[in-house]
Amino acid sequence: MLDETKTLDELIASHKPGHALDQPFYTDPEIYDLEIERVVTQNWILVGHQSELPEPGDFKVFNVANESAIIVRGSDGELKAFANVCRHRGSLVCLVSEGKTNKFSCPYHGWTYDIDGNLIAARSMIGDFDKSDYSLNKVSLEVIHGLVLICFSDSPPGVESARRDLAEPMAIFDFENLKVAAHKSYDIDANWKLAIENYQECYHCATAHPEYALMHTLMVDNRKRAPLQTHMLDKMEACGIKEIDIDKIDLNAPPGEMGYGYSRTALFEGYLTGSKDGKPVAPLLGNISDYDGGGSDFVFGGFSFLLVYSDHAVAYVFTPTDMRNCKCDIYWMVRADAQEGKDYDVDELTWLWDVTTHADKKIIVDNWKGVQSRYYKPGPFSNMENAERMWTEWILQQLQRD
């Protein structure tokens, strides 16, 4: 139940700007249900790269809270998404996480669908039953320069501004021709918002992530970072990387459209990429000719974030499982023609963000334990938590939608 003394509107109105969220936004079941209805199912979520499903019949299943989607390459060669819910009595249709098939058969009563979602078999039905009336329900899907996103809404936010404005920076790294070299999923025993808040600030990096802090200047206060950018900016153009800054994130999103953003930040001098020793772990992406010593941040909506070095990309996707648990999916991407064992080693490629995410899991769970205490009161954000502040304000805005 909601806070006994305040309604949701009153909680939102009493939120102190520049401060963390009040306790009920993390612990109240009714607010969580509203988040699923008004935030989670109404916004785009990254589910991988088009290269994962190259042939008709290739599929994967993606679960978010109480929703499940089948993403499949259809008979026409196009990617499609369907609700993983049988049109008979609602059973999950596909119980495996990925594979290749020419049909999906519900394990409950055998209703069978082709890879385009059409019902093709339903035995012992009576009357004027018409199979064409019982196709799998469609889930909104968009491919943005190779990245695949879904939304559990029939009227999702527009993506055309993001597709247009991100075309240039995504072309630098040739996103269309990347491939997923590794994918790991991390279960986190905490409310989902704490996981996303943690990802968006580096106030904790110096304390909690010694491996990351050695190489990334983002762990330095914003006001002191500018001089550390010089070596990257001086090399950027010669390496084939343009200086671009796009801030249409969260509340800055175009009306009715998904928020998005792009920026590039220097690593400390001597580090070329995000790896154990800062040395290359894969071939250079796109038409990049050399290492400028930087890493790019892409934002796609409120759930999906990418860090792109000169030789590989790392995509972070956060989704709720229930009010007390969430999931973090990480996709490591390299150029499509790179060969495992020859051009890259998976353990070396994934090392930095695997060790960082395991450390983050502990931080987030400890945060969750403290947020549930009777002594928790939201404190003020630091200068290094501006992205987190903007995201929490976006959440409050989303909760007020019809």
Residues 360, 276 within the same domain: yes
Q: Do residues 131 and 53 both lie within one domain?
A: yes
Per-residue pLDDT tens over the stretch 175-201: 999 999 999 999 999 999 999 999 999
Domains of the chain: total: 2
What domain range is 133 assigned to?
45-142
Q: Does 332 reside within a domain?
A: yes
92 and 212 together in one domain: no
Q: Are 382 and 206 in contact (CB under 8 A)?
A: no
Nearest to 70 by CA among 138, 1, 21: 138
Domain assignment of residue 36, yes or no: no
Do residue 165 and residue 107 come from a single domain? Answer: no
Can you tell me the distance from the alpha carbon of 190 to that of 327, in angstroms, rounded to the nearest whole number? 9
Quick one: 309 and 191 in the same domain? yes
pTM of the model: 0.96
pLDDT confidence of residue 135 = 98
244 and 384 share a domain? yes
Q: What is the pLDDT of residue 4?
A: 59
**In this predicted structure, what is the pLDDT of residue 401?**
83
Low-confidence ranges of the chain (pLDDT < 50): none
Same domain, 249 and 383: yes
Would you say residue 204 lies in a domain? Answer: yes
Q: Do residues 132 and 190 both lie within one domain?
A: no
The CATH number of the domain holding residue 58 is: 2.102.10.10
Answer whether residue 182 is part of any domain: yes
98-110 pLDDT per residue, tens: 999 999 999 999 9
Q: Are 210 and 124 in the same domain?
A: no
Task: Give dist(CA 378, CA 193) in Å, integer.
Answer: 14
SS3 sequence of the chain: CCCCCCCHHHHHHHCCCCECCCCHHHHCHHHHHHHHHHCHHHCCEEEEEHHHCCCCCEEEEEEECCEEEEEEECCCCCEEEEECCCCCCCCCCCCCCEEECCEEECCCCCCEEECCCCEEECCCCCCCCCHHHHCCCECEEEEECCEEEEECCCCCCECHHHHHHCHHHHHHCCHHHEEEEEEEEEEECCCHHHHHHHHCCCCCHHHHCHHHHCCEHHHCCHHHHHHHHHHHHHHHHHHCCCCCCEEECHHHCCCCECCEEEEEEEECCCCCCCCCCCCCCCCCCCCCCCCCCEEEEEEECCCEEEEECCCCEEEEEEEEEECCEEEEEEEEEEECCCCECCCECHHHHHHHHHHHHHHHHHHHHHHHHHHCCCCCCCCECCCCCHHHHHHHHHHHHHHCCC
The CATH number that applies at residue 386 is 3.90.380.10
Same domain assignment for residues 204 and 272: yes
In-domain check, residue 154: no
> Looking at the structure, do residues 130 and 180 belong to the same domain, yes or no?
no
pLDDT in tens, 365-391: 999 999 999 999 999 999 999 999 999
pLDDT score of 222: 78
Residues 332 and 197 in one domain: yes
pLDDT of residue 157: 98
Residue 258 lies in a domain: yes
